[in-house]
Structure 1
């Protein structure tokens, strides 16, 4: 669904990494509604006591299956917890880890199916479900999740195969797709793995993308002329990229700066003195910066 405000002022940039409390509450309310009207009855059937088939979702079965696969979330869903530091047992908002919330979304997508209601069983006060349509149920679920994510500017997207990827900003998407294939397959593989991992929802996997891209940077320093030392080979590659003296000096400066970043931050080395990156935006910034540089260098190796 597209809201009027989206047409008037444009949709929010999908750049937020953490899932806020209002989204957690909204997701649980939506999923609970689906449970109540039988959308999970195909995989977790609540059976009519009179033996007339499925009549809804077996919440206990749903809960046990969820507990086995998503360790950080319990059902019935919790949106508030008692504050252990408050002597009056005041309740405070509870928001699970964003990865657990995304796992819950995937769990529900895999198990959701749209029910077709049949005869009303007046004695037990329920309808019997005559059939389920998984494709329609999943399409409805996907559309609702995309609305919630986009309206709140969340940098995640649920796909029809059940996977969730991170929505990259347009400039990063552009540069990652333009790094040319080279004659060195190992270098190509490093860059390809980095490009795939930077789209992952988990910030730790995106960190791995940064490390793989920096491995590619070290690799590219030797590829232009393998018979020479790394420094000599890189010098020749930079010479091939620019004949203009001023621009060549800028390339030299950038190569030195990127090498320093790789050595100083927790990217290429693991000493306790290394600076670890904790902010996804900072990871993306370094990734974008190096990817742009590799995009120029790789053109001379393709």
Structure 2
């Protein structure tokens, strides 16, 4: 739903960020708590109503909290040990909140609930169903907050949180082609590199770049019946359709990326390597290497 100032271009652009502010944390946690009862199939407690001699099921909050203390130990808790919203100046771990969102997403199930009797309302019951249609509602509510707050994360249909990467050549089509690479070592390195690249924690950027450079080096030896130089020449020749101008361009790009991998702290960690201190530079290196690999794999036999 677009409001008046959005429809008429009167609102300042939202600042895009990878930081979950206290306000956004509060909204996301409220959504999570709203869907706790959809975990009743895991955390249930059986109650008994003596007057009607009937049993019924409730969500076991105590059991849930004990399990989360083991599963997500660093998430913010109040003085009673319950998962809670941080207050002003409290330290909190935003990635632990992401853990909670993913846990709910991956375990959420539909329920049927209500009063046992609409007139007397003796007790409130929960019936656990074996379907997961409710996930779509949970996903939409989480992603709506991410989008409105400009947080560069999204809860995917695979029920994991990924960062939203802007200005990247990575696309579903490229990912499909990568999964179809016949050489298993190159394929696995590329899949790992992309998974790390999408991880919300910026600390994973270095690992993603290291993996994709490993994939580049593996790609150079794609044709195992040739030595490394011969294999690279064959890859470049096929990419270039044997046209000399493109052979020159792609040879230069392979050499440039090799030099980057050798001179910067990507694949090697000696003290004389150039440190990469700005995570946006990791994005640049990743996307540059990806562009060459994504083109090359379209021509591999």
Query: How far apart are 1:145 and its partner, in Å?
Result: 1.2
Q: Which residue of 1 aligns with 2:174?
A: 176
Q: Which residue of 2 aligns with 1:76?
A: 82
Is 1:141 matched with 2:138?
yes
Correspondence list, 1:105-124, <5 A: 105-109=101-105, 110-111=107-108, 113-119=110-116
Q: Which residue of 2 aligns with 1:84?
A: none
Is 1:266 matched with 2:265?
yes
When structure 1 is superposed on structure 2, of 104-113 and 61-70 the one drifting more is 104-113
Q: Which consecutive residues of structure 2, in runs of 5 or more, have no partner in the other structure?
A: none
- C-alpha contact 2:65 2:82 (8 A) present in aligned 1: yes
Query: How far apart are 1:67 and its partner, in Å?
Result: 0.7
Query: How far apart are 1:64 and its partner, in Å?
Result: 0.5
Q: Which consecutive residues of structure 1, in runs of 5 or more, have no partner in the other structure?
A: 82-90
- C-alpha contact 1:172 1:288 (8 A) present in aligned 2: yes
Q: Give me the whole-angstrom Cα distance separating, in 1, the residues matched to 2:159 and 2:221.
A: 40
Is 1:151 matched with 2:152?
no
- C-alpha contact 2:111 2:126 (8 A) present in aligned 1: no
1:236–1:7 Cα change, 3 Å: same
1:267–1:62 Cα change, 3 Å: same
Q: 1:11-37 deviations in whole A, cap 9, x for unaligned?
A: x899643322222111222333445xx
Query: How far apart are 1:204 and its partner, in Å?
Result: 4.6
Q: Give me the whole-angstrom Cα distance separating, in 2, the residues matched to 1:296 and 1:115.
A: 51
Q: Give me the whole-angstrom Cα distance separating, in 2, the residues matched to 1:298 and 1:136.
A: 38
Secondary structure in structure 1 of the residue aligned to 2:127: strand
**Root mean square deviation of aligned Cα:** 3.9
Query: How far apart are 1:176 and its partner, in Å?
Result: 3.5
1:4–1:49 Cα change, 3 Å: same
TM-score where L is the length of structure 1: 0.73
Q: Which residue of 2 aligns with 1:25?
A: 26
Q: Give me the whole-angstrom Cα distance separating, in 2, the residues matched to 1:48 and 1:222.
A: 65
Q: Which residue of 2 aligns with 1:102?
A: 98
- C-alpha contact 1:21 1:93 (8 A) present in aligned 2: no
Secondary structure in structure 1 of the residue aligned to 2:159: coil
Correspondence list, 1:236-255, <5 A: 237-238=235-236, 241=240, 243-245=243-245, 248-255=247-254
Q: 1:132-160 deviations in whole A, cap 9, x for unaligned?
A: 44524433222211212222233333245
- C-alpha contact 2:46 2:56 (8 A) present in aligned 1: yes
1:248–1:54 Cα change, 3 Å: same
- C-alpha contact 2:57 2:127 (8 A) present in aligned 1: no
TM-score where L is the length of structure 2: 0.73
Higher RCO (Cα < 8 Å, 6 or more apart): 1
1:111–1:235 Cα change, 3 Å: closer
- C-alpha contact 2:29 2:97 (8 A) present in aligned 1: no
Paired residues, number: 285
- C-alpha contact 1:14 1:156 (8 A) present in aligned 2: no
Query: How far apart are 1:260 and its partner, in Å?
Result: 2.2
Secondary structure in structure 2 of the residue aligned to 1:173: coil
